[in-house]
């Protein structure tokens, strides 16, 4: 395999890093995958990757195994550059020594990179499926956008880590993100890949066609990217929420007195200022505390009394992160599992409802395959071993309903949409991104949460322990936000939306369509079927 194919794959991996926050050079997404496509489609020995020879039909695509290796290299670089924060989390909060934490990061990148390898394998499979390389390459380029969606969808539903799908880099491009209301984020990823394939096709074309194809690709990328300048007017808000950002260190040692002091401080942050100090700010309809940053147990009388008093004094509903306790069956004395929960308290102080987090963080909130990975129990020393919830029900706050999802759940589009499908008219996302430290992860996490607001056309109130706390409108725009790493309260506007989007009603139909197309393409490539097709 020509060494220049490796350099192209590495270049693509680097481009996949810089398009995400930070540094957020999102406009490079239109060419980020083109080098990898070129590497896969022109990888055989003797290929000469120069402008004078790129269009020759004698250049051969990679064999499927070679394509996988090229994609794997690209994926390893991309995952290492975007998810480097895993080392920080494992070392600082997981208690792992530096070499072990680094080894975990390397293993993670090898696994995540294999998904990009799968994409490149599919491209190479189709490209090498005919005796005429030019025809095979054209087929592969046509199918590549669908293959990429399959890869992202597989990372969601099978692997369970759909972090940073390609479409989120265009979250500020409002006209383009309208596509997500129909297809979810996968439609935007497909659109980005389509432009990348146009650039790859231009480099692969004969000299007479190259300028025309390159011009078309540049115009398409420019037109799609310049639509970021289109900004609709502000959307009307129908309510106000107090989003409390406590900025509590995760590794703090807790006593009864320290818990009481924090509760009192947060209670004061949640209440409107006294009349003598009032600045004319509107009364809040809702108070939100983040994913439990302290041992706030639901059965703790101090915690319950504080929340009830706060709701009564503020004349507002409250959604608060807490540690849920499961009632022990009669006659049972052994410890019962706890859950990562959100509770709803009424303005009269009554505790109305509770949501238990369903999609837990592996190695953070539970240890998968405990028998085989017994050493990993130390990773949950800070957060514990949680039980899963079972139902994505919504909170009824009188004049509107709120769907509350917790931290990690915000990166799963098919799961968050179920809250809107079940009647949620406002989204509330509570999180604790203190785990990420001063890395790019909080910004990546925020953009994925913003995409959930776009897909379902819902206002999103996002409250975190240390940031990024923000009010987000149905276009995914940040209407207001709090500074990071400070204890503060954000008076956040929000609206109530009753209508549902096509994506909310029908889910990941587009991703499943891409799966069908990919399966059909693989089937045609099977020996025997391939000969008949040719």
List, for residues 221-232, the tens digit of each pLDDT value. Answer: 999 999 999 999
Residue owning tokens 């899963």: 388
List, for residues 432-458, the tens digit of each pLDDT value. Answer: 988 888 899 999 999 999 999 999 999
pLDDT score recorded for residue 211: 86
How far apart are alpha carbons 196 and 203 in whole angstroms?
11
One domain, residues 404 and 288: yes
If one compares 290 and 385, the residue with the highest pLDDT of the two is 290
One domain, residues 110 and 248: no
One domain, residues 189 and 291: no
How far apart are alpha carbons 143 and 109 in whole angstroms?
26
Number of domains in the chain: 2
If one compares 505 and 134, the residue with the highest pLDDT of the two is 505
Task: Return the number of other C-beta atoms located less than 10 Å from residue 243's C-beta.
Answer: 29
**For residue 23, cis peptide bond before it (omega within 30 degrees of 0):** yes
CATH number at residue 342: 3.60.110.10
Name which of 104-113, 198-207, 259-268, 496-505 the model is least confident about. 198-207
Judge whether 461 lies within some domain: yes
The gap from C-alpha 239 to its chain's centroid, in whole angstroms, comes to 27
On the question of pLDDT at 506 being above 80, the answer is yes
Q: By the 8 A CB rule, do 115 and 154 touch?
A: yes
One domain, residues 80 and 156: yes
One domain, residues 309 and 411: yes
Name which of 55-59, 212-216, 312-316 the model is least confident about. 55-59
One domain, residues 127 and 63: yes
Q: By the 8 A CB rule, do 428 and 419 touch?
A: no
Q: By the 8 A CB rule, do 365 and 339 touch?
A: no
**Token pair of 9 as six digits:** 């794959």
Q: By the 8 A CB rule, do 113 and 79 touch?
A: yes
How far apart are alpha carbons 183 and 254 in whole angstroms?
46
pLDDT band at 368, cuts 50/70/90? low
Task: Return the number of other C-beta atoms located less than 10 Å from residue 275's C-beta.
Answer: 6
Per DSSP, 83 falls in state S
**Token pair of 517 as six digits:** 């197309």
pLDDT score recorded for residue 3: 82
> Within 405-477, where are the H helices?
413-421, 441-456
Q: By the 8 A CB rule, do 59 and 44 touch?
A: yes
> Within 205-349, where are the H helices?
207-226, 256-270, 301-314
Judge whether 22 lies within some domain: yes
On the question of pLDDT at 534 being above 50, the answer is no
* Residue percentage of the chain with pLDDT more than 70: 87
Judge whether 277 lies within some domain: yes
pLDDT band at 367, cuts 50/70/90? low
Judge whether 204 lies within some domain: yes
On the question of pLDDT at 508 being above 80, the answer is yes
How far apart are alpha carbons 461 and 123 in whole angstroms?
40
223 CB burial (10 A radius; 0-12, 13-18, 19+) = exposed
One domain, residues 218 and 292: no
Judge whether 335 lies within some domain: yes
If one compares 148 and 131, the residue with the highest pLDDT of the two is 148
One domain, residues 203 and 340: no
- Supply the DSSP string of 341-388, one letter for each residue: EEEEE-TTS-EEEEEE--SPPBTTTB-SSTTTTGGGGGGGTTT--BPP
One domain, residues 112 and 226: yes
On the question of pLDDT at 41 being above 80, the answer is yes
On the question of pLDDT at 370 being above 80, the answer is no
Name the residue range of residue 214's domain.
3-231+509-533
pLDDT band at 503, cuts 50/70/90? very high
* Residue percentage of the chain with pLDDT more than 90: 66
> Within 227-337, where are the H helices?
256-270, 301-314
Backbone angles phi, psi at 478, to 5 degrees: -80, 105
Mean pLDDT of the chain: 87
One domain, residues 165 and 250: no
One domain, residues 215 and 245: no
pLDDT score recorded for residue 8: 94
One domain, residues 56 and 198: yes
Degrees (nearest 5) of the Cα angle 454, 455, 459? 45
Instruction: Tell me the average pLDDT across 35-64.
Output: 68
Name which of 304-318, 377-391, 498-512 the model is least confident about. 377-391
How far apart are alpha carbons 268 and 184 in whole angstroms?
40
Single out the residue of 413, 405, 389, 387 nearest to residue 165, CA to CA.
413
On the question of pLDDT at 209 being above 90, the answer is no
List, for residues 237-287, the tens digit of each pLDDT value. Answer: 989 999 999 999 887 888 888 999 999 999 999 998 776 555 556 688 999
Task: Return the number of other C-beta atoms located less than 10 Å from residue 155's C-beta.
Answer: 19
How far apart are alpha carbons 297 and 429 in whole angstroms?
19
pLDDT score recorded for residue 532: 47
How far apart are alpha carbons 229 and 224 in whole angstroms?
10
Task: Return the number of other C-beta atoms located less than 10 Å from residue 130's C-beta.
Answer: 18
On the question of pLDDT at 388 being above 90, the answer is no
Instruction: Tell me the average pLDDT across 203-210.
Output: 81
Judge whether 502 lies within some domain: no
Judge whether 273 lies within some domain: yes
On the question of pLDDT at 396 being above 90, the answer is yes
pLDDT score recorded for residue 525: 61
Q: By the 8 A CB rule, do 46 and 79 touch?
A: no
pLDDT band at 480, cuts 50/70/90? very high
Judge whether 314 lies within some domain: yes
Strand boundaries in 407-530, DSSP class E: 426-431, 460-464, 470-472, 478-481, 488-494
Residue owning tokens 């107090």: 242
The gap from C-alpha 100 to its chain's centroid, in whole angstroms, comes to 26
How far apart are alpha carbons 165 and 455 in whole angstroms?
14
Q: What is the sign of the dihedral through the CA atoms of 479, 483, 484 and 486?
A: negative
Per DSSP, 297 falls in state B
pLDDT band at 2, cuts 50/70/90? confident
């Amino acid at each position: 395999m020509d060494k220049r194919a490796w350099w192209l794959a590495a270049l693509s991996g680097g481009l996949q890093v810089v398009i995400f926050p930070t540094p957020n050079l999102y406009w490079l997404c239109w060419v980020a995958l083109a080098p990898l496509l070129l590497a896969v489609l022109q990888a055989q020995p003797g290929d000469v990757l120069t402008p004078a020879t790129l269009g020759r039909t004698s250049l051969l695509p990679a064999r499927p195994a070679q394509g996988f290796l090229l994609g794997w290299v690209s994926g390893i670089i991309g995952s290492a550059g975007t998810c480097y924060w895993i080392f920080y989390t494992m070392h600082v909060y997981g208690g792992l020594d530096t070499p072990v934490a680094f080894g975990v990061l390397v293993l993670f990148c090898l696994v995540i990179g294999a998904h990009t390898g799968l994409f490149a394998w599919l491209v190479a499979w189709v490209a090498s499926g005919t005796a005429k390389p030019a025809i095979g390459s054209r087929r592969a380029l046509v199918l590549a956008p669908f293959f990429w969606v399959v890869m992202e969808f597989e990372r969601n539903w099978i692997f369970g880590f759909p972090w940073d799908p390609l479409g989120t880099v265009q979250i500020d491009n409002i006209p383009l993100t309208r596509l997500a209301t129909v297809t979810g984020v996968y439609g935007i990823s497909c659109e980005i890949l389509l432009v990348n394939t146009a650039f790859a096709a231009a480099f692969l074309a004969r000299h007479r066609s190259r300028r025309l194809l390159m011009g078309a690709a540049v115009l398409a990328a420019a037109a799609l990217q310049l639509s970021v300048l289109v900004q609709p007017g502000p959307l009307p808000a129908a309510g106000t929420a107090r989003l409390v950002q406590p900025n509590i260190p995760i590794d703090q040692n807790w006593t009864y007195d320290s818990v009481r002091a924090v509760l009192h401080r947060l209670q004061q942050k949640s209440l409107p200022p006294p009349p003598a100090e009032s600045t004319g700010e509107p009364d809040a309809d809702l108070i939100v505390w983040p994913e439990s940053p302290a041992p706030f147990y639901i059965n703790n009388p101090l915690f319950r009394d504080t929340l009830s008093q706060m709701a009564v004094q503020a004349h507002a509903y409250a959604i608060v992160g807490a540690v849920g306790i499961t009632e022990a069956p009669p006659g049972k004395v052994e410890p019962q599992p706890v859950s990562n929960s959100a509770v709803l308290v009424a303005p009269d102080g009554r505790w109305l409802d509770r949501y238990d987090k369903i999609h837990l963080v592996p190695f953070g909130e539970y240890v998968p395959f405990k028998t085989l990975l017994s050493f990993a129990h130390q990773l949950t020393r800070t957060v514990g071993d949680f039980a899963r919830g079972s139902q994505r029900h919504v909170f009824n706050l009188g004049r509107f309903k709120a769907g509350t999802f917790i931290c990690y759940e915000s990166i799963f589009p098919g799961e968050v949409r179920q809250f809107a499908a079940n009647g949620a008219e406002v989204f509330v996302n509570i999180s604790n991104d203190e785990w990420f430290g001063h890395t790019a992860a909080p910004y990546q996490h925020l953009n994925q949460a913003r995409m959930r607001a776009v897909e379902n056309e819902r206002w999103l109130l996002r409250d975190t322990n240390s940031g990024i706390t923000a009010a987000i409108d149905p276009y995914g725009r940040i209407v207001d936000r709090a500074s990071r790493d400070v204890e503060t309260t954000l008076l956040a506007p929000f609206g109530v939306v009753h209508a549902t989007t096509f994506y909310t009603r029908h889910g990941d139909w587009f991703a499943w369509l891409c799966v069908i197309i990919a399966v059909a393409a693989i089937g045609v490539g099977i020996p025997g079927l391939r000969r008949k097709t040719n």
